[in-house]
Amino acid sequence: MLDSNRTTKRIEILMLSAGLVLLVFVGQLINLQVFHYKFYKNRAQKQSLESVKQQIGRGTIYTADGREAAVSMKSYSITANPGRVRNKAAVADFLARATGGSRAEIYGKLRSGKDFVYLARKVDADRAGAVIEKNFAGIYPVLEEKRYYPLKETAGHITGFSGTDNIGLEGVEKAYEKYLRGKMGTVLVRRDAKGRKISLDSIAVKKAEAGADLYLTIDSNIQSYCAGELARTAEKYRAKAGMAIVMKPETGEILALANYPTYDPNEFSRYGNEALRNRIVTDMFEPGSTFKIFTMAAILKDRPGAYNEKVHCGDGKQYFFDRYVRDHEGHGWLTVPEVIKYSSNIGMVNLAMRVKPAKLYSEYACFGFGEKTGIDLPGEAQGILRTVDKWNNATLASIPYGQEVAVTGMQLARAYAALANGGYMVKPYIVDRIEKDGRTVYRHKAEKSGRVIDNGTREKLVKMLETVCEPDGTGKKAAITGYTVAGKTGTAQKHSQGGRGYAYNKYISTFIGFLPAEKPEVLAMYMLDEPDPIFQYGGDTAAPAFRNLSNMMISYLHILPDGGVSQAAVKSKDAPEETKQENVVLPDFQMKRYSEARRFFTEREIKHTRVGFGRTVISQWPEPGKTVGPNDRITVFLGDVTKTNETRIYVPDLRGCTLRKAIDILEVYGLKAKCSGSGVAISQAPKPGVAVKKGGVVVISFESKDKT
């Protein structure tokens, strides 16, 4: 009986103990699940969830004609937690082969002992796919974006580039970073015990937003030609560097902007600072004779009657104060317009000495020298225009023809734009508008300041610039048949490296001008830095480049000569009404410049029609070798030729053509037609002048004209 009682008591104690233990467990469970639920839930999530920053859709940059200048592409960065990587040597071998990276560098990072390292940045999807497939423990491919620049070297200094973290570092990528980058987001990624991502949907903590799209004022076709002509000219004359710009003088809209040397923004890390620098806005130089027209503006404002005066320019050199001023030849007596036409330094100083220094300084300042233009590109320099209280006798004998003053290419272009547009200062710009989600969030408003020069004075100055391009002017090589060009040459010595005096045989050669002079549509400038001394003059180097570019723009932009008549209709007033012509054998103009063919036709008074856009004849009718008479009309079909000798074609203007004629023209270019309606062409897509590949389709709508 006693043993039975003891057993019962033990059972009761055990049951009570078990009950107490169970009660403790239940209490702890309630405590964890109810009172400390959030605490332990957050702790568990922190151990299995990782916060990852996310950026989607950096904005696209487009040219004015609709081409992509900067786009975002899918890429991966290969990251690692070195402590979780097994067999580091084998993993390093594989990753080096897969990503194209350095095996030694990758292996070193895997042995670093850090919790997180980047092994490769911005790897393309194909290369990253092999890494993802292996699924190494401790190796984490992270989806990112990589910037790609389809125009490559052609527009490197315009687009600039963004770095590995997708932050703009140069060009409009930097200037418009806040619009392009969008908003950074955050997602939580679940990982297993080995740190590998589990295939579950990511949890969005902060939603990412795509960036806005930029639309440039740059026309890709003009930009391509402008940059190509600059490179060809710089290489031909063995120049150290160069710059070029095309602007609409009425608004300040930049159509093209090029530097030499240039760089490919897709591989910007391969280039040094010399290539990356946007010289047009960052580099200052003495403008030389291109500055004379602004001294002349001050002279004519002060003494309007000076236009009809003559000035003695000596035999090529004249002593002013404590220094000689030289011309490239002796000019003797010149009229005031001839001082600009023949670019006489001596004549310029003699005229400027009659104007108070304060008035000279005021005129230069009015045209924007010594201040930034406000162009929407980073790194713009202010230029140098010392205040008049810091001038001395040497300044008075130097600044009238562009010494002791420093300008940027953009400043010089803006100042000439004021001469072209009626006397108004404009603010140059390169971004036309910004769009996001179908809405325009920014649009540039053309800015004009007050008039800096009256119309009467401006007309006299423009007439002077026109004489520069006459057959005996310094800019004769910029002249274009049938068009009146207004422009100015410049050949400025460069300062020595020590800053004292000028360097021997080192020059800045420039031509800047606009056309048609009566009502200018485009302004362009070419500048070469240190061309071969044999070809030092701007009239010999930069002026032909200006002419070639202008010929291209005349065709591409449909620019009519002064008076609005077609170029074919421009004839000498003194020419007889009828001229007897002889039959001629038609040469082969194919793959030659249109200007050469046009000269041939003009000299022989042969009628011709040009079709399409570009500066190269890619086909002709009749064929070469055919004999043509005075009543025959020749047709030349235009395009362009790239550096690799490939033909670049542009959609011809088919409006007004019959269906048969439109199809025939497209066949010459290797294009197909998709037609609707009948009669004559009234619209087409793509639009005239758009660059296309052979085999492309042009959609044309035809409509019958009403008969009366």
DSSP assignment of 82-144, as one string? Answer: GGG-SSHHHHHHHHHHHH---HHHHHHHHTS--S-EEEEEEEEHHHHHHHHHH--TTEEEEEE
pLDDT of residue 222: 95
417 vs 419: CA distance, rounded Å: 5
Task: Look at domain 51-216 and name its CATH class.
Answer: alpha beta
**pLDDT category, 572, cuts 50, 70, 90?**
very low
With a CB cutoff of 8 Å and minimum separation 6, the contacts of 445 are: none
Nearest to 505 by CA among 526, 532, 537, 481: 532
| 137, 102 Cβ separation under 8 angstroms | no
pLDDT digits (tens, 9 = 90+) for 296-335: 999 999 999 999 999 999 888 898 988 899 998 888 899 9
Strands 607-612, 633-641: pairing kind? parallel
Confidence band for 76, pLDDT divided at 50, 70 and 90: confident
SS (H, E, C) 179-245: HHCCECEEEEEEECCCCCECCCCCEEEECCECCCEEEECCCHHHHHHHHHHHHHHHHHCCCCEEEEE
Shortest CA distance to 490 belongs to which of 470, 513, 462? 513
**Per-domain residue ranges of the chain:** 51-216, 220-485+508-556, 581-703
The per-residue pLDDT for 281 is: 96
pLDDT band at 485 (very low <50, low <70, confident <90, very high): very high
Q: How far is CA 303 from CA 297, 399, 409, 419, 599, in A?
A: 10, 19, 30, 19, 43
Residue 133 has a CB neighbour count (10 Å cut-off) of 8
The dihedral through the CA atoms of 660, 671, 617, 223 has a sign that is positive
Highest mean predicted confidence (pLDDT) among 135-149, 270-284, 588-602, 610-624: 270-284
- Say if residue 523's pLDDT is above 90: yes
- State the Cα–Cα distance between residues 673 and 676, nearest whole angstrom: 10
HSE of 218 in the Cβ direction (CA atoms, 13 Å)? 30
The answer to whether 146 and 122 have CB atoms below 8 angstroms apart is: yes
Span 190-211, mean pLDDT? Answer: 57
Q: In the block, which residue shows the tokens 């999530």?
A: 45
pLDDT in the model for residue 554: 93
Global pTM reads: 0.70
Highest mean pLDDT among 59-63, 631-635, 699-703: 59-63
Average model confidence (pLDDT) across the chain: 84
pLDDT band at 63 (very low <50, low <70, confident <90, very high): very high
Q: Is 130 exposed, middle or buried (0-12, 13-18, 19+ CB in 10 A)?
A: middle
Confidence tier at 39 by pLDDT (50, 70, 90): low
> Which has more confidence, 625 or 172?
172
Integer Rg of the chain from CA = 35
What is residue 571's predicted lDDT score, i.e. its pLDDT?
Answer: 39
551-568 mean pLDDT: 75
| Mean pLDDT, residues 375-398 | 95
Q: Up-side HSE of residue 600: CA atoms within 13 Å toward CB?
A: 15
Q: Could you report the per-residue pLDDT of 258-291, keeping only the tens digit for each?
A: 999 999 999 998 898 889 999 999 999 999 999 9
Whole-number Å distance between alpha carbons of 94 and 608: 65
pLDDT at 149 over 60: yes
Q: Which two tokens stand for residue 165?
A: 């973290």
Q: Other CB atoms closer than 10 Å to residue 378's CB: what's the count? A: 18
Q: Does the fold of domain 220-485+508-556 match that of domain 51-216?
A: no
* Nearest-5° Cα angle at 226, 249 to 295: 45
Contact present, 480 and 599 (Cβ < 8 Å): no
540: Cβ contacts below 8 Å, ≥ 6 apart: 477, 509
Residue 705 has pLDDT above 80, yes or no: no
Question: Looking at residue 173, what is its pLDDT?
Answer: 94
Confirm if 237 and 77 have CB atoms less than 8 A apart: no
Is 565's pLDDT higher than 70?
no
**What does the alpha-carbon distance between residue 637 and residue 98 come to, in Å, rounded to a whole number?**
49
pLDDT at 45 over 60: no
Which of 478, 493, 464, 425 is closest to 287 using CA atoms? Answer: 493
Under a CB-based contact definition with an 8 Å cutoff, are residues 255 and 186 in contact?
no
- The more confidently predicted of residues 329 and 564 is 329
Between 3.40.50.980, 3.30.10.20, 3.30.70.2200, 3.40.710.10, what CATH number should domain 220-485+508-556 receive? 3.40.710.10
Q: Which of 597, 702, 686 is nearest to 650 (CA)?
A: 686
Per DSSP, the three-state class of 293 is helix
Give the start-end residues of each E strand in 406-501. Answer: 424-426, 431-436, 439-443, 448-451, 486-495
Alpha carbon of residue 252 to chain centroid: 14
